[in-house]
């Protein structure tokens, strides 16, 4: 059986987790947490990184930092994971859903301005499959209307927009280290901070509304309750696991890109026969090989493809359901049809993609696709 995903272990995870245990420092914000944050700050150029227990938590921190309140509007693509919207809904925001582009599932920056009202506070571009949204256009619009931008970079580690790492362009950003991502810690995430005015408050929100981080740095002689917050920081055991993955980032990325390129090459002939569309990367975007997807011509064709692959023991899966027509939000949505989003919800299929997938398996998968279309 070829599963859809298989978490990759570099081999050092248990070693570093044992080290954390042996050091006697198990709670958060210790040596491994600092090491991971420093690595990510240096590699990508964030003003500050804070590890979190998930990308969802990082998005919740971002929603608090943006001071989102009841009545505020937040623009989010409808083709995304629930958390991109949920984090802001928890603060009382109304979500104004944006449609995807024709060429890829990212939100259409050209349609953004029409969604802005005097109540708009935040734009949440989601870099689907690690492929950049048009960030220059989004930041230009945000500046014009004095809005904040929170990049949902859950899938976008090590990917760039015009040479700039994703997650470093908006005011804030959120990454995921869930076991389905390129770099993993089981559950895990990170808040990226690019606007220095958010750093102090972010640390307080991260540490249950207290200034404990300042106390441990010796900047204050006691710590106390300063703000709202939660326990957003992971334990050292999780950070130790993550460190083993970050150390092997180059190897992980190189192998994934090799697999992605092989899929792309082998499936190009079938795309030329009009059987489906392959991922379309704009010139401004790099590829971090997070995901390999096809867009079929109809829901029926996608269902048939998934079924045939399953009959050959290959697990391919569809992705998001449109959030604007979800059970929770459909009655709150303003009723605009979002046809591109619905098309991706019906027609997009993701193929197996993980470090330990072999080139031979990619060839088998492509052969099965070729034989059934």
Ligand X SMILES: Cc1ncc(COP(=O)(O)O)c(C=O)c1O
Q: Which residues bind ligand X (CB under 6 A)?
A: 54-56, 80-81, 83-84, 126, 152, 154-155, 176, 178, 189
- Assign 310 to helix, strand or coil: helix
Between 78 and 84, name the residue whose CB sits nearer to ligand X. Answer: 84
Between 226 and 321, name the residue whose CB sits nearer to ligand X. Answer: 321
Between 188 and 368, name the residue whose CB sits nearer to ligand X. Answer: 188
Rounded least distance, CB 99 to ligand X, Å: 16
Rounded least distance, CB 35 to ligand X, Å: 20
Between 40 and 368, name the residue whose CB sits nearer to ligand X. Answer: 40
Rounded least distance, CB 152 to ligand X, Å: 5
Rounded least distance, CB 87 to ligand X, Å: 9
CA distance 29 to 214: 12
Rounded least distance, CB 238 to ligand X, Å: 12
Between 107 and 154, name the residue whose CB sits nearer to ligand X. Answer: 154
Rg (CA), the chain: 21
Phi, psi (deg, nearest 5) at residue 47: -70, -35
* Cβ neighbourhood burial of 186 (10 Å; 0-12, 13-18, 19+): middle
Distances, alpha carbon 352 to alpha carbons 6, 70, 331, 332, in Å: 9, 41, 35, 35
CA distance 317 to 109: 28
Instruction: Let me know: does 46 contact 192? Beta carbons within 8 Å.
Output: yes
Q: Tell how strand 73-77 and strand 48-52 pair up.
A: unpaired
Between 56 and 182, name the residue whose CB sits nearer to ligand X. Answer: 56
Rounded least distance, CB 236 to ligand X, Å: 19
Between 238 and 362, name the residue whose CB sits nearer to ligand X. Answer: 238
CA distance 87 to 64: 9
Task: Indicate if the alpha-carbon torsion angle 227, 55, 135, 44 is positive or negative.
Answer: positive
Rounded least distance, CB 228 to ligand X, Å: 20
The residue written with tokens 């390999």 in the block is: 292
């Amino acid at each position: 059986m070829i599963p859809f995903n298989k978490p990759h272990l570099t081999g050092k995870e248990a070693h570093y987790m044992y080290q954390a245990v042996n050091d006697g420092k198990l709670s958060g914000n210790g040596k491994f947490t600092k090491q991971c944050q420093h690595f990510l700050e240096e590699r990508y150029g964030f003003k500050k990184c804070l590890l979190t227990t998930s990308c969802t938590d990082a998005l919740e921190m971002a929603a608090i930092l943006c001071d989102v309140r009841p009545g505020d509007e937040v623009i989010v693509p409808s083709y995304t994971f629930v958390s991109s919207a949920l984090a802001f809904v928890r603060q009382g925001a109304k979500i104004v859903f944006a449609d995807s582009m024709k060429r890829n599932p990212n939100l259409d920056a050209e349609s953004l301005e029409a969604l802005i009202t005097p109540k708009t506070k935040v734009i949440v571009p989601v870099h689907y499959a690690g492929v950049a949204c048009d960030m220059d256009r989004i930041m230009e619009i945000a500046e014009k209307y004095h809005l904040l931008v929170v990049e949902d970079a859950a899938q976008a580690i090590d990917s760039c927009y015009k040479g700039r790492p994703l997650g470093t362009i908006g005011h804030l950003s959120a990454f995921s280290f869930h076991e389905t991502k390129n770099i993993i810690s089981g559950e895990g995430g990170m808040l990226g901070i690019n606007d220095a005015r958010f750093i102090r408050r972010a640390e307080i929100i991260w540490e249950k509304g207290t200034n404990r981080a300042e106390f441990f740095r010796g900047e204050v002689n006691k710590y106390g309750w300063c703000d709202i917050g939660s326990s957003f920081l992971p334990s050292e055991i999780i950070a130790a696991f993550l460190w083993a993955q970050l150390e092997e980032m180059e190897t992980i990325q190189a192998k994934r890109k090799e697999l992605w390129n092989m899929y792309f090459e082998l499936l190009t002939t079938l795309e030329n026969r009009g059987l489906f569309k392959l991922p379309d990367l704009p010139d401004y975007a790099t590829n971090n090989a997070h995901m390999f997807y096809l867009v079929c011509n109809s829901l029926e064709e996608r269902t048939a493809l998934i079924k045939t692959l399953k009959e050959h023991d290959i697990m391919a899966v569809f992705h998001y359901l449109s959030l604007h027509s979800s059970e929770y939000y459909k009655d709150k949505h303003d009723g605009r049809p979002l046809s591109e989003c619905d098309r991706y919800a019906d027609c997009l299929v993701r193929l197996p993609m993980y470090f330990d997938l072999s080139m031979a398996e990619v060839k088998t998968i492509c052969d099965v696709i070729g034989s059934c279309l």
